[in-house]
Amino acid sequence: MASLWFVPPVFVKTETDGVRHGCNNTRAALEQLKRWTRRGPRWHKAWTLCLSALEGDPIDPHVIRKAFVAAAKEAEMYLSPE
């Protein structure tokens, strides 16, 4: 049950104002997804991909990263890397 790493990290908002979190692997992405209250279709896709990868399915980390970015934007949690 290893995490798949992706580069560059995806920066998202946290519960603390002004604090951002950089997700760079499937386990960290899944932990962030758990915290979000807005859960649309992109959230479900990212959730499914992260879980599948952690269960050992051979999924390209770039696919997971792309899905996580889409979910973060959908949930208005995405922050630009700067």
> What pLDDT, in 10s, does the model give residues 28-67?
999 999 999 999 999 999 999 999 999 999 999 999 999 9
Question: Quick one: average pLDDT of 9-19?
Answer: 90
- Beta-bridged to residue 21, according to DSSP, are 12
pTM above 0.85, yes or no: yes
25 vs 15, residue with greater confidence = 25
Please enumerate in sequence order all residues whose Cβ is within 8 A of that of 24, keeping only pairs 6 or more positions apart, or say none: 5, 6, 7, 8, 9, 10
Query: Cβ(40)–Cβ(3) under 8 Å?
Result: no
| pLDDT the model gives residue 40 | 97
